Chains A and B, each alone.
Chain A
Amino acid sequence: EVQLQESGPGLVKPSQSLSLTCSVTGYSITSNYWGWIRKFPGNKMEWMGYISYSGSTSYNPSLKSRISITRDTSKNQFFLQLNSVTTEDTATYYCARGKLGRYYFDYWGQGVMVTVSS
């Protein structure tokens, strides 16, 4: 069974970088697409970006200057880095598997809550 698990610090200071890891079991990240989505307080969901089976990336233009998604295929993990965070980046962050060629998400992690505060 495909399982995803997010991990990382729950508290980040403003202006610092947010770094999260998504560990995948039951499926290789060298297939399909692997995305990050976040849900803000108030329930608005935002797609942040993804990394493909080949390592190519696509990002939400609203974040393009601050976001980086990378991967370690040997560990079957992919990563989110979001730079220069503000309190507006406080959210629950999810990783998810994207359906090949279709870009909806068929498996999700449970999410990790990240608070940006000094």
Chain B
Amino acid sequence: VQMTQSPSYLAASPGESVSISCKASKSISNNLAWYQEKPGKANKLLIHSGSTLQSGTPSRFSGSGSGTDFTLTIRSLESEDFAVYYCQQYNEYPLTFGSGTKLEIK
């Protein structure tokens, strides 16, 4: 399953809201996870099952979608949110990831 993630780069200001898209080449039901990557830190699981927040994920993060189209939305960006985000499908093998979205401060 190919995962097409967009945009690859996103610039926004603290307080703004942003959305990141992840499209699967075939239906993956809701078997999608979102991760946050920051330099020097372990990757953090934010959301699984398309929309279920992992314990500890702030409520300003939300996930939506099922089938082939998924969205990660971050409302009221905080400074700690500027990072790289990846989606990953786990509906079938091999597990595959999106190409990443780098969220930078405008």
Give me the interface of A with B, judged by CB distance under 8 Å.
4, 37, 43-47, 58, 60-62, 94, 96, 99, 102-111
Q: Is A58 a contact partner of B42 (Cβ separation < 8 A)?
A: no
B10-18, B64-72, B73-81, B89-97 - the one binding chain A: B89-97
Interface size class of B (residues with CB under 8 A): 20 to 34
Give me the interface of B with A, judged by CB distance under 8 Å.
31, 33, 35, 40-45, 48-49, 54, 84, 86, 88, 90, 93-97, 99-100
Q: Is A104 a contact partner of B94 (Cβ separation < 8 A)?
A: no
Partner of A104, one of B40, B44, B48: B48
Q: Is B96 a contact partner of A47 (Cβ separation < 8 A)?
A: yes
Q: Assuming A47-B88, A47-B95, A94-B43, what are 4 further A-B pairs, CB within 8 angstroms?
A: A43-B100, A61-B94, A105-B43, A108-B42
Q: Is B97 a contact partner of A106 (Cβ separation < 8 A)?
A: no
- List B contacts of A94 (CB < 8 A): 43
Partner of A43, one of B31, B35, B43, B84: B84
Main secondary structure on B side of the interface with A: loop
> Once the chains are docked, how many angstroms separate the CA of A60 from the CA of B93?
8
Q: Is B100 a contact partner of A104 (Cβ separation < 8 A)?
A: no
- Residue of A with least CB distance to B48: A104
> Once the chains are docked, how many angstroms separate the CA of A99 from the CA of B95?
13
- Residue of A with least CB distance to B8: A43
